[in-house]
Amino acid sequence: MSAGAPKLLKGDTGEWEIVIGMEVHAQVLSNAKLFSGASTAFGAEPNSQVSFVDAAMPGMLPVINRKCVEQAVRTGLGLKAKINLTSIFDRKNYFYPDLPAGYQISQYKNPIVGEGEVTIDLADGESVRVGIERLHLEQDAGKSLHDQHPDHSYVDLNRAGVALMEIVTKPHMRSSEEAAAFLKKLRAIVRYLGTCDGNMDEGSMRADVNVSVCRPGGYQRFRESGDFKHLGTRCEIKNVNSVRFIAQAVEYEARRQIEIVEAGGTIRQETRLFDARAGETRSMRSKEEAHDYRYFPDPDLLPLVLERAWVDEIAATLPELPDEKKARFMALGLSAYDAAVLVAERETADYFEEMLKDGAEAKAAANWLNNEYFGRLNKAGLSLAEGPISPKANSAIVQMIAADVISGKIAKDLCDIVWNEGGDPRAIVESRGLKQVTDTSAIEKAVDAVIAAHPEKVEEVKAKPKLAGWFVGQVMKQTGGKANPQAVNAILKTRLGLPDEG
Amino acid sequence: MSSPTDFTLAGARDALRAKEVSAVELTEAFIGAVEAARPLNAFVTETPDRARAMAKESDARIAKGEARPLEGLPLAIKDLFCTKGVRTTAGSNILSNFVPPYESTVSQNLWDAGAVMLGKTNMDEFAMGSSNETSAFGPVFNPWRSRTSNAKLVPGGSSGGSAAAVAAQACLAATGTDTGGSIRQPAAVAGIVGLKPTYGRCSRYGIVAFASSLDQAGPMTRNVRDAALLLRAMASVDPKDSTSVDVPVPDYEADLERGVKGLRIGIPKEYRIDGAPPEIDALWAEGVAWMKAQGAEIIDVSLPHTKYALPTYYIVAPAEASSNLARYDGVRFGHRAKGAHDIADLYEKSRAEGFGREVQRRILIGTYVLSSGYYDAYYIRAQKLRSLIADDFTQAYKKCDVLLTPATPGPAFAVGAKTADPVSMYLNDVFTVTVNLAGLPAISVPAGATADGLPLGLQVIGKAFDEATVLRAARAIEVAANFTARPQPWWRAA
């Protein structure tokens, strides 16, 4: 595990490092909003899920939703973070039509969750730790619609008051790859926990990405001293809503900043927008234009006080998380890469484990999924859940390969059949005579027949043992692909008098 | 009894049960009194039809022997309580046409107890004021006039309409809300009883918010027994208000006549202020003497941070108000300005047209004290002072059971006398704001009059959730003071 190797960017005047921190807004998975009983279901008719509290009608008061608090605690525990038994809700005051009360209830100085960490896995197999600064609960705002009428704006308050977790990282990411990997991993964790559905398309998860650049060594000095002066001025890219866009936005923004600094300019601390179509970031507002939010504790809500025992109860029901699962899979003999692929989504890990439960050996099952089945799904554009083959069926295929009942080649044919026609793989093998021939006398017969029919090839292969493959092919053809390849090889070697390694 | 409107709340209850009068008769008498009292401008909205319907139902229940605690008793509701289907203005232009689709918990409790609604009473705009002169619906006039002048006097505020309605016998009792003295100060200058309960005793759900950490609903009545009766019906723990507190609500009436023998009554020296009329101190001394005579133990105590209460209040209350009133933006309900060219313009015009000067002043003060760079100097320091002020009471209550103080620094003043000088207006609450900052219960009870015949009140402050003792001590004052004067009904001639 490393502290994150910097990916150096080359500028005209030398090399640069990127430093990235993130604020992720994750919508809490709950039936009701943070402070009202209104529904949180996605895609409802505009303004059909708005309580009097959400619309900030006179005299209405917020009442905290226990489920949302539980979800925040669960997430905090999943991030290996400190749970603050006392936290405080503040009002963040600003005027906007989709913010009915004129303030957002959020947690400013005393969040429900303190420091934690997330371990991210990079493509090269390296793991990097990203520190979590805090997690707090807050209300989402509604949505302004400016494209519904030539001279009116419409407001949809369905989202207003929905619970969000704002998860703030430390500036511990060093490349666009790490930023993307972090968001992926965080998404996996909350999905494992069942605290956020992670649907970035529906806005359930979106990230504000803080990017700055510094000369090599600056970041190290920052980590040693905690002093931000060693880092460059950061810009915040708001509301990036896909893993791919995060990588693009970081790359673009870092390049932009390097160009400005190298041209003798200075970076303005500002909020920027990522335009996915143009692939660039654009200025939204500068620090000077920033709002004065006039935070103060919400007098309608008492401090949120949790009981230790309740937190412990939640901790006891935490599922196995990706890192633990990965370690367990590796202990079963999987490579770090294979294990990482399988744990990236809970559904995938569950599928894999179903196969094991059904009798498949771990490594063989992992190889089959990673090398065969996932490829087919990708090609067909299907998710695992949409795929036509059950874990039980895939498990049967893997077990038949392992028991030499079918060859790897037959397994692929069998997979085609099950994919297209369904059915029990074992029954198909039986009924269609796909069983591998391990009866040596039958294979010997076939080998002898091929040798007898091709004396010229026998001579060639003696001079060039590599050509034995041709004989293997012929024997397989004769046996309809059912001959056990190892047995074919062994018999061929004896009959042709080839050396052991060829 | 010359007229059903002469009943007290408890008296009317007993008469209804004894079938000496019907709810419909009682209600008709009060509907007439409300109409006759129109020159006082105590009501913003009258609801005679609803009152009649409710009274009819009450009579049916009484006939069946199913009377509830307040069955058939006509009340006035301060226009800060949202009432379902009945316009609720908070005394403001910005809500002049607002009809809530929901009912406040306190008023719902009253209807559930069988009470009858006569209408909604006038008040200072968003409860910001001490004279009822900031109302968008015009000032309320105090039923009381000086013996030496016919000048119209204010009824105090912000619950001025409720105070005037009770004093003029245009209702049996009324609800009020008290953020810095808005129940007790008008009660004192209108010669009635006003009780601010412990913060959290009554639900704030459905009450248009002024300063959330200070606002508390309470009864405004003709006597102490009525306050006990009405408070019991208003109070409840409410899952819809996170700051309401689950403490059992006792039968306050049961304990009322127990007297003050052996009760330790604290006299805080800081409540003697320079420049107060000599009548105030004299009345206070008289109150002490009454209590002593009834066997109470008088103890001198100190509340050393009292002098910081008013400035602390004028930071905390406007800060919360500036945020609470942000929702009045012309977007979803309430007044929306015409001809706005963009969203900022819509906000500015709607709020400028919708809010009166005092409300605007407090929004500006509140916005200022919460602004970055000023927050620590004002808001945080005010919070610290608030803790110190609350701690003053905690210390004092180690030595005594209740505190006795004047309720106001003077009697009702003339309409317009203090409107030009906000600070002199704010000083009306000098004896009452400490209690809100500390969240304690306190009552104002009529105890005497000025030489000109204007009523004055004494204040009893209690421990948190000990309204029972507060009411008992107030009852002892009431008995001793025997304040039976009534205002001359000059408004009926008008």
What was the ipTM of the complex prediction? 0.96
- DSSP label at residue A149: S
- Calpha distance B304→B284 (Å, rounded): 19
8 Å CB contact of A102 and B326: yes
Q: For B41-56, what is the mean pLDDT? A: 98
Does one domain contain both A160 and A271? Answer: yes
Does one domain contain both B97 and B214? Answer: yes
User: What confidence tens digit (pLDDT) does each residue in B326-377 have?
Assistant: 999 999 999 999 999 999 999 999 999 999 999 999 999 999 999 999 999 9
Of B92, B107, B158, B236, the catalytic one is B158
Q: Is B375 on the interface with A (CB under 8 A)?
A: yes
φ, ψ of residue B432 to 5 degrees: the values are -105, -30
Distance in Å, alpha carbon of B380 to nearest chain A alpha carbon: 9
Instruction: Return the SS3 of B116.
Output: strand
Does one domain contain both B89 and B227? Answer: yes
Does one domain contain both B254 and B329? Answer: no
φ, ψ of residue A347 to 5 degrees: the values are -60, -40
**Which structural domain range is residue A449 located in?**
440-496
Does one domain contain both A480 and A341? Answer: no
Task: Specify if A307 maps to a domain.
Answer: no
Domain limit, last residue, from B195, B228, B258: B258
Which residues 185-204 of chain B have a CB within 8 Å of chain A?
Answer: 204
Whole-Å CA distances, B404 to A8, A46, A207, A492:
75, 56, 59, 113
Q: Are B170 and B227 in contact (CB under 8 A)?
A: no
Is A454 or B70 the better-scoring residue by pLDDT? B70
Task: Specify if B379 maps to a domain.
Answer: yes
Does one domain contain both A363 and A274? Answer: no
- Calpha distance B207→A157 (Å, rounded): 23
Does one domain contain both B95 and B217? Answer: yes
In the numeric block, which tokens belong to residue A455? 């004396």
Nearest to B208 among A59, A64, A91 (CB): A59
Tokens 């320079």 -> residue:
B274
Name residue B347's amino acid.
Answer: Y
Does one domain contain both A216 and A337? Answer: no
Instruction: Return the SS3 of B220.
Output: strand
Q: Give chain B positions within 8 Å (CB) of A143.
A: none
CA dihedral A90, A92, A96, A98 (to 10 degrees): -30
- Calpha distance A259→A264 (Å, rounded): 9
Does one domain contain both B26 and B155? Answer: yes
Catalytic-residue membership of B78: yes
Domain limit, last residue, from A276, A291, A306: A291
Q: Are B24 and B165 in contact (CB under 8 A)?
A: no
Task: Specify if A502 maps to a domain.
Answer: no
Burial of A374 (0-12, 13-18, 19+ CB in 10 A): middle
CATH assignment of the domain containing B136:
3.90.1300.10
| pLDDT in the model for residue A158 | 96
Does one domain contain both B101 and B236? Answer: yes
Does one domain contain both A285 and A333? Answer: no
Q: Is B272 on the interface with A (CB under 8 A)?
A: no
* Closest listed residue to residue B238, CA positions, set B88, B74, B112, B126: B112
SS (H, E, C) A96-110: CCCCCCCEEEECCCC
A3: left (phi over 0), alpha (psi -120 to 50) or beta: alpha
Q: Are B358 and B134 in contact (CB under 8 A)?
A: yes
Catalytic-residue membership of B158: yes
Q: Which residue of A has its CA nearest to B348?
A: A95
Task: Specify if A452 maps to a domain.
Answer: yes
Interface list for chain A against chain B, based on CB atoms closer than 8 Å: 52, 55-64, 91, 93, 95, 97, 100-103, 153, 155, 292, 294-296, 299-302
| pLDDT in the model for residue B423 | 87
Does one domain contain both A20 and A146? Answer: yes
Nearest to B326 among A95, A292, A299 (CB): A95
The length of chain B in residues reads 494
Average pLDDT, chain B: 96
Q: Are B448 and B286 in contact (CB under 8 A)?
A: yes
Q: Are B189 and B157 in contact (CB under 8 A)?
A: no
In the numeric block, which tokens belong to residue A165? 């977790």
Q: Give chain B positions within 8 Å (CB) of A93.
A: 322-323, 326, 370
| pLDDT in the model for residue A1 | 43
Q: How many domains is chain A partitioned into structurally?
A: 3
Q: How many domains is chain B partitioned into structurally?
A: 2
Sign (positive or negative) of CA dihedral A340, A343, A344, A349? positive
Q: Are A92 and A103 in contact (CB under 8 A)?
A: yes
Tokens 């803790």 -> residue:
B387
* pLDDT per residue of chain A (502 residues) written in tens, 0 to 9: 445 556 889 999 999 999 999 999 999 999 999 999 999 998 899 999 999 999 999 999 999 999 999 999 999 999 999 999 999 999 999 999 999 999 999 999 999 999 999 999 888 778 899 999 999 999 999 999 988 998 888 999 999 999 999 999 999 999 999 999 999 999 999 999 999 999 998 999 999 999 999 999 999 999 999 999 999 999 999 999 999 999 999 999 999 999 999 999 999 999 999 998 999 999 987 666 668 999 999 999 999 999 999 999 999 999 999 999 999 999 999 998 899 899 988 999 999 999 999 999 999 999 999 999 999 999 999 999 999 999 999 999 999 999 888 888 889 999 999 999 999 999 998 888 777 766 777 888 888 888 888 888 888 888 887 788 888 888 888 887 778 877 888 888 888 877 765 4
Which residues 72-131 of chain B have a CB within 8 Å of chain A?
Answer: 81-82, 88, 90, 95, 98, 100-102, 104
Q: Which residues of A284-301 are buried (b: 16+ CB within 10 A; e: fewer)?
A: eeeeeeeeebbbbbbbbb
CA dihedral A248, A249, A253, A256 (to 10 degrees): 50
Burial of B490 (0-12, 13-18, 19+ CB in 10 A): middle
User: What confidence tens digit (pLDDT) does each residue in B434-474 have?
Assistant: 999 999 999 999 999 999 999 999 999 999 999 999 999 99
Nearest to A296 among B101, B331, B370 (CB): B370
Task: Specify if B149 maps to a domain.
Answer: yes
Q: Which residues of A251-281 are buried (b: 16+ CB within 10 A; e: fewer)?
A: bbbbbbbbeebeeeeebeebbbebeeeeebb
Give the count of beta carbons closer than 10 Å to the beta carbon of residue B45. Answer: 17
Domain limit, last residue, from A403, A431, A459: A431
Distance in Å, alpha carbon of B113 to nearest chain A alpha carbon: 22
Q: Which residue of A has its CA nearest to B105?
A: A59
- DSSP label at residue A300: T
**Which structural domain range is residue B319 located in?**
307-383
Give the count of beta carbons closer than 10 Å to the beta carbon of residue A186. Answer: 26
B439: left (phi over 0), alpha (psi -120 to 50) or beta: left
Q: Which residues of B337-376 are buried (b: 16+ CB within 10 A; e: fewer)?
A: beeeeebeebbebbbeebbbebbbebbebbbbbbeeebbe
Which residues 40-79 of chain B have a CB within 8 Å of chain A?
Answer: none
Strand blocks (E) in A193-338: 205-214, 235-240, 270-275, 280-286, 296-297, 304-305
Task: Specify if A158 maps to a domain.
Answer: yes
Does one domain contain both A261 and A175? Answer: yes
| pLDDT in the model for residue A4 | 52
In the numeric block, which tokens belong to residue B320? 């919360």
Does one domain contain both B120 and B204? Answer: yes
> What order do you get walking across the sheet with B455-461 strand by strand?
B43-46, B116-121, B74-78, B173-177, B217-221, B193-196, B442-449, B455-461, B402-406, B264-268, B297-301
Distance in Å, alpha carbon of B217 to nearest chain A alpha carbon: 13
Q: Give chain A positions within 8 Å (CB) of B317.
A: none
